[in-house]
Amino acid sequence: MSTLAPPRSGHSRPPRTDPERRPRRGTRRLARREAGFGFLMISPAVLFVAVFTLAPMVASVALSFFSWDVITPPRFVGLDNFERIVGDDAVVSSFGTTLLLAFGIVVVQLVVGLGLAVLVNQRRRPAAKTFFRTTFYLPLLASTAAVSIFMGYMFDMKFGVINYYLNAVGLPSVPWLTSTWGAIVTIILIAAWQQVGFTFVMFVAALTSLPTDVLEAAAIDGAGPVRTLFGVKIPLISPTILFAAVVAMINALQLFDQPFIMTKGGPGTATTTATIVMYQTGFQNLQFGYASAIATVLLVIILAITGLQFLAARKWAFYR
């Protein structure tokens, strides 16, 4: 140890993280009292998060290795549940459906949200900006249950207003919720319709805070609006795009309410998502162990996709 090392007084000194943040002034007793106060302050939040998030997280993974019907005690079955998932076409296809729906929803949400944000950002009048911002955010305020109910009526094959207007302009009726692809497209459109406001608001905020000097430089270099958008603006807001994509994807992979209420997962199993299968397996058939295994696989998928998004971001997201 070098002679320059500070003298060590006492043996249980509290760790001094970021020393410049607070001048060192306390005696050991003061520091201990401060620590006690800190623990007291975090204890309510820690208690609830530990009991209702952290413990369930561990328990959920642990439960995947058991067979449990709630009535008889849990029985350890090792990897049986996971083997069963691999051979269970209904579960495997529900993961496919989940990915397909989530991918569709996120792409629509990002593209439409970005497009609208760019257009709103070009408006000059503040009143116009406020109007569009409010308008595009409004659908987010309705509950997914409410949206599923009214959209279910609007997309009705026979009586729905959507098909009425299609017919009015000479197009045939579309079996929106009663055909496989119709239901998939409709669920994507409805979920994206509601969620677009989220990406839109984030992109508007990011575009508004772009540095003017960079845009001026682009203009002086003779870049037109399109070049500026794809060459300057989008790269500059790419961290926001990444963040929006990650959050939207985590949400979309948990899609439940809309297909559960509108199509009951149908027609057939066309819109049966992983969360719907989990709900049926766990809360209707009382196979809690098997349902936990499905939940664990879904969690791994969500974490993997989120990780992939961050990895991919290294290629295109620029941080300043």
Partner 1 sequence: MSNQLILNGGGLAGRFWRGVGLVVLLLAAVVALGPLLWTLTTSLRTPAEAFTNPPKWLPVNPDFGNYSAVFQQVPIGTFLLNSTIVTMLIVVGQTITCTLSGYAFAMIRFPGRNAIFGIFLATMMVPLQTIIIPVFVIVKTLGLTDSLGALVIPALGSAFGTFLMRQYFMQMPLELGEAARIDGASQFQIFTMVYARMAAPAVATLAILNFSAFWAEFYRPLIFLQSQDTFTLPLGLVGLQGNLGTGSISVVLAGVVLAMVPSVLLFVFAQRYFIEGVTAGSFR
Residues from 172 through 201 that contact partner 1 (CB under 8 A): 193, 196-198, 201
Residue among 159, 266, 146 nearest 194 (CA): 146
Residue type, 171: L
The single residue among 28, 37, 221, 268 that binds partner 1, judged by CB under 8 A, is 37
| 205 part of the interface to partner 1, by CB under 8 A | yes
Rounded least distance, CB 224 to partner 1, Å: 9
Under the binding rule (CB under 8 A), the answer on residue 22 touching partner 1 is yes
Residue 103 found at the interface with partner 1 (CB under 8 A)? no
Least distance in angstroms from the C-beta of 3 to partner 1: 28
Minimum CB separation of residue 2 from partner 1 in Å reads 27
Rounded Cα–Cα distance for residues 191 and 173 (Å)? 21
State how far the Cα of 195 lies from the Cα of 138, in Å rounded to an integer.
10
With respect to partner 1, which residue has the nearer C-beta, 8 or 21? 21
Nearer to partner 1, 2 or 72 (CB): 72
Q: What is the pattern of x (binds partner 1, CB under 8 A) and - over residues 106-125? A: ------x--xx--xxxxxx-
Based on CB atoms, which residue is closest to partner 1, 4 or 30?
30
Binding to partner 1 in span 150-169, by CB under 8 A: 150-151, 153-154, 159, 161, 164-165, 168
Beta carbon of residue 83, minimum distance to partner 1 (angstroms, whole number) = 20
Q: Is 66 helix (H, G, I), strand (E, B) or coil?
A: strand
Residues 130-149 that bind partner 1 (CB under 8 A): 131-149
| Alpha-helical regions (H) of the chain | 28-49, 55-63, 80-87, 89-121, 126-137, 144-154, 161-168, 180-208, 212-220, 225-228, 234-236, 238-252, 257-262, 274-279, 288-316
On whether the CB atoms of residues 281 and 294 are closer than 8 A, the answer is yes
Q: Is 70 helix (H, G, I), strand (E, B) or coil?
A: coil
Task: Give, as ranges, the residues between 278 and 317 that touch partner 1 (CB under 8 A).
Answer: 278-279, 282-283, 288, 291-292, 295-296, 298-299, 302-303, 306
> Considering only CA atoms, which of 58, 34, 54, 35 is closest in space to residue 46?
54
Which residue in 272, 262, 263 sits closest to 149, CA to CA? 262
